[in-house]
Amino acid sequence: MSLPPPPAPAAWPPPDATIVAYDVSRSFGSLVAVSSVSVAVQPGVSALLGPNGAGKSTLLRMLSGQIKPSSGSVWVAGGDPRTDAEARDRIGLVPQQDGVFEREKALDVVRLAAILSQLDNVEERARWALGLVELDPDLDRPVGAFSKGMRQRVKIAQALVHDPVVLMMDEPLNGLDPRQRKQMISLFHELGNRGKSVLVSSHVLEEVERLGSHVIVIAKGRLAAQGDFRAIRSLMDNQPLRFRVVCTNARRVAASLVERSAVIGCSVASDTEIEITTDDAKVFRRAIAAVCRNVGARLEEVAPLDEDLESVFRYLVGAGG
């Protein structure tokens, strides 16, 4: 399936963008991991969404300055993170790999990150960062004995200890239990509300919906879409839309609806509920009230069934056929 790209904004990148990638590509030998991606991230929480193997981690590594794009350019927090030390200092990174000193205690690990960032009050800052992720700084056991979720929180504390302007995280919620996930998502929103740019990579749709509506969708190394996922769905006029209709006399209403040109699918779920597929939502919305009136039915609700993130994701990347 080939979708038209969303229309370009009047000014790109936005003047308040803190992360900008312009036409970046990255190849590893004959393998093209990321191809011609242009994205801009503003303050707040944004989600980098895509299936495993889509190129999310490679894109994050380019944005954080870990690897150089094969072509294109990256600008983050005031400069190129590969060559501008001041820009690099404004970035906090949570990689997908553990990369922690397993024989050390959590406080020592985060304290080292504070030392490497040349911070004053190293002890105080390390304790502050561990407090943000709800870890006891005086926990007397090595990080190697921690659960996956606890190690993830140590990594997040390391990334936050120098209070960065930009925070990039690759699957940071992996291994966290439901309560910890809720707490971390609240923390990300708090950071975004403070004007920081928080970019979170995930392949889990439920996580992304809780993170917020602004998404960057990557599929097969290419940019599939970016923006508010509801706005993205509204642009996809060539894709059928599904609606749930709640009314009395549902079978009579369904029989009348199938005669309408805008309705390309209709199923009766119960005596009071119908599911409709239409290729012209405006025509359908105008027609449904008249149909109910004509057959003596009372219309109670018309609700879209596929304006959620899961449907947008399925359409954009072809998941589920």
Q: What is residue 307's predicted lDDT score, i.e. its pLDDT?
A: 58
Q: What is residue 35's predicted lDDT score, i.e. its pLDDT?
A: 93
Distance, CA of 108 to CA of 158 (rounded, Å): 10
Distance, CA of 155 to CA of 110 (rounded, Å): 8
Using a cut of 0.75, tell me whether the model's pTM lies above it.
Answer: no
Q: How far is CA 179 from CA 109, 135, 149, 163, 267, in A?
A: 24, 14, 11, 24, 39
Q: Minimum mean pLDDT among 140-144, 177-181, 227-231, 317-321: which range?
A: 317-321
pLDDT band at 310; cut points 50, 70, 90: low
Buried residues in 225-257 as b, exposed as e (16+ CB within 10 A): bbbebeebbeebeebebbbebbbebbebbbebb
Neighbouring C-beta atoms of residue 39, cutoff 10 Å: 20
Q: What is residue 67's predicted lDDT score, i.e. its pLDDT?
A: 93
106 burial level (CB within 10 Å; 0-12, 13-18, 19+): buried
pLDDT per residue as tens digits for the range 265-289: 899 989 899 999 888 877 888 889 8
Residue-averaged pLDDT of the chain: 86
pLDDT per residue as tens digits for the range 242-273: 889 999 999 999 999 888 878 888 999 898 99
Q: Minimum mean pLDDT among 13-17, 67-71, 78-82: which range?
A: 13-17
Per-residue pLDDT averaged across 229-236, rounded? 64
pLDDT band at 1; cut points 50, 70, 90: very low
pLDDT per residue as tens digits for the range 183-225: 999 999 999 999 999 999 987 777 777 887 788 888 888 898 8
**Domains of the chain, earliest start first:** 19-231 (3.40.50.300), 236-308 (3.30.70.920)
